[in-house]
Amino acid sequence: MKKLRIAIIGAGITGASIARVLSRYENLEVHLIDKNPDVGWGVSKANTAIIHGGYDDDPDKYPVRARLCVRGNRLWHQWVKELEIPHVWNGALVVALKEEDFDELEKLLERGRRNGVPEMRIVEGEELFRLEPGLTKEALGALWVPIVGQIGPISAVIAIAENAVANGVKTHLETEVTGIRVERGEVKGVETNEGFIKADIVINAAGLYADEIARMVGVDYFEIHPRKGEYWIFDEGIPGPRRVLFPTPTPISKGIVVTTEISGHLMIGPNAQDLPAEEKDNLATTREGLEEVWEGAKKLWPNLPPRDKVIRTFTGLRPEPTGGDFIIKAEEVWGFINVAGIRSPGLTSAPAIAYEVVEIIRRDLGIELVEKKKWNPYRRDITHFFALPREKANEFIKRNPAYGRIVCRCNKVSEGDVLEAIERMKFLAIKTPSVDSVKFRTKATTGTCQGSFCRPRIIQILAREYGVEPWQVTLKGKGSEIGIGDVKVLLRREA
């Protein structure tokens, strides 16, 4: 059987999801390409990690978003089980702080019903505060959306990519696309800094850079500009809400969210600031932006902790397309499929987008897809050491002593966990050892001390397992090497 070669540009949540779904088919050879050293390091890395309900997207104005968000929510219920992705289905409250907000809540309720969102209703009084006791007493009511949930976004991308690779997908990391070869109106492959990758179909899932990739084949009817959102994260043990708390939305944003993220940390944000198209790497936080987030969050959650309980602030960028709706279509150049402008609710919609691409390949490109007789939907076995009963944990440590040596005190990450993370990094063909790749697989360096205790140990383990000198280990890929001086300081601190 002749196989069609498919090149997916972008290994974020969308690209990885497409790769996973396409790995089901016997007659496809799938290549997942990203310029970053690891999967999920673009837009997918920094967001609120919410699986939205589907009430917010106007089906008349944004029909693709409206349709795929609801379907994506349903698919995530299946995917988190198959792939063992950290998740919680805790529901959301869209809060009314003044009487006129109820008009908007009624619109959202009607919109959600049109989109097929189940079990939505407006709650007030005692029921409202039973759902969320810590909510501001100024709240008059809220739209209650039970199907909303949260996941670990990077954990999700990693899990999806691992499953895709286990089913035959080939990854090409640190591989930047510099051009797309087109002959007689058909794509032939992609030019990269690592050489030419032949492809019969090219899928553009390049996030913030999707417009630039599209222009490589002469498609220039849309532009992507970044929308910046800033966040605060608080130390563990700080009480946060049970539910995801939204204010009544504005025309450009769902508003500043207050939530307890999947690792148990109170998180507030984001605001929304539109940036010029050329500022796609502007990840700087600003005093003004962070203050806006703080004041907005206080309106919903008045008992924000003191600022000395903040362990991190960060910025995420969302790809805002011309027109606002997702752009998912086969273009006139045969074999080129745009999956562009995947802004919020892109995380929620990702599984549904993947199945949409399958339909485009079948319907618009006329390709018959042959399903594999054996396709594994499940992630490779994962050791959940700290979930083991004490007796079994002690037995496990005897067989695997590395799990008894703690590397990260804050999040109880052992050397065994780090070694498992490195094994998984190599499974995805990650070439450059980085602390961040370990961080996103174990949560090491994300606790109260933000890595001051565990980073030296992680560097030593990475150096040993990758066969490099400690100063050749990176923080987040090439260009962020630790350096000889830094290693000496870190090791002196450890001693």
**How confident is the model over 396-439, as pLDDT tens digits?**
777 888 888 999 999 889 999 999 999 999 999 999 999 999 99
309 — phi, psi (to 5°)?
-95, 0
Whether the predicted pLDDT of 388 surpasses 90: no
pLDDT reported for residue 460: 93
pLDDT reported for residue 386: 54
Contact in structure between 367 and 375 (CB atoms under 8 Å)? no
494 — phi, psi (to 5°)?
-65, -40
Provide the 10 A C-beta neighbour count for residue 253: 17
Contact in structure between 280 and 208 (CB atoms under 8 Å)? yes
Provide the 10 A C-beta neighbour count for residue 135: 21
Q: How far is the C-alpha of 211 from the C-alpha of 21, rounded, in Å? A: 24
The predicted model gives 456-479 an average pLDDT of 93
In this predicted model, what pLDDT tens digit does every residue of 113-149 receive, in sequence order? 999 999 999 999 999 999 999 999 999 999 999 999 9
Contact in structure between 148 and 51 (CB atoms under 8 Å)? yes
Q: How far is the C-alpha of 254 from the C-alpha of 246, rounded, in Å? A: 7
Provide the 10 A C-beta neighbour count for residue 138: 12
* Residue 397 or 71, more confident: 71
pLDDT reported for residue 255: 87
Domains assigned to the chain: 1-87+150-223+322-382 (3.50.50.60), 92-146+225-317 (3.30.9.10), 385-494 (no CATH)
The predicted model gives 184-201 an average pLDDT of 98
Q: How far is the C-alpha of 243 from the C-alpha of 121, rounded, in Å? A: 15
pLDDT reported for residue 304: 96
Tokens of 165: 């690779």
Contact in structure between 477 and 466 (CB atoms under 8 Å)? no
The predicted model gives 189-209 an average pLDDT of 98
Q: Of 100-104, 261-265, 481-485, where does mean pLDDT reach its minimum? A: 481-485
Q: How far is the C-alpha of 48 from the C-alpha of 232, rounded, in Å? A: 11
Model-level pTM? 0.95
pLDDT reported for residue 454: 92
CA-atom Rg of the chain in angstroms: 23
pLDDT reported for residue 485: 55
pLDDT reported for residue 482: 81
Name which of 124, 120, 130 is nearest 53 in CA terms.
120
* Residue 377 or 385, more confident: 377
Contact in structure between 10 and 205 (CB atoms under 8 Å)? yes
Q: Cite the active site residues.
A: 52
Q: What's the whole-number average pLDDT of the chain? A: 93
Task: Please confirm whether the linkage preceding 270 is cis (ω < 30° from 0).
Answer: yes
In this predicted model, what pLDDT tens digit does every residue of 207-241 receive, in sequence order? 999 999 999 999 999 999 999 999 999 998 899 99
Whether the predicted pLDDT of 495 surpasses 80: no
46 — phi, psi (to 5°)?
-130, 100
Tokens of 382: 């994962």
Q: Of 50-54, 127-131, 134-138, 469-473, where does mean pLDDT reach its minimum? A: 469-473
pLDDT reported for residue 380: 67
Provide the 10 A C-beta neighbour count for residue 306: 8
In this predicted model, what pLDDT tens digit does every residue of 359-369 receive, in sequence order? 999 999 999 99
Whether the predicted pLDDT of 381 surpasses 70: no
pLDDT reported for residue 492: 57
Percent share of the chain, pLDDT over 90 = 86
Q: H/E/C letters for each residue in the chain?
A: CCCEEEEEECCCHHHHHHHHHHCCECCEEEEEECCCCCCCCCHHHCCCCEECCCCCCCCCCCHHHHHHHHHHHHHHHHHHHHHCCCEECCCEEEEECCCCHHHHHHHHHHHHHHHCCCCCEEECHHHHHHHCCCCCCCCCEEEEECCCEEECHHHHHHHHHHHHHHCCCEEECCCCEEEEEEECCEEEEEEECCEEEECCEEEECCHHHHHHHHHCCCCCCCCEEEEEEEEEEECCCCCCCCCEEEECCCCCCCCCEEEECCCCCEEEECCCEECCCCCCCCCCCCHHHHHHHHHHHHHHCCCCCCHHHEEEEEEEEEEEECCCCCEEEECCCECEEEEECCCCCHHHHHHHHHHHHHHHHHHCCCCCCCECCCCCCCCCCCCCHHHCCHHHHHHHHHHCHHHHCEEECCCCEEHHHHHHHHHHHHHCCCCCCEHHHHHHHHCCCCCCCCCCCCHHHHHHHHHHHHCCCHHHCECCCCCCECCHHHHHHHHHHHC
443 — phi, psi (to 5°)?
80, 0
Tokens of 191: 């030019």
- Chain-centre distance for alpha carbon 282: 18
Whether the predicted pLDDT of 60 surpasses 60: yes
The predicted model gives 385-398 an average pLDDT of 69
In this predicted model, what pLDDT tens digit does every residue of 233-259 receive, in sequence order? 999 889 999 999 999 987 666 789 999
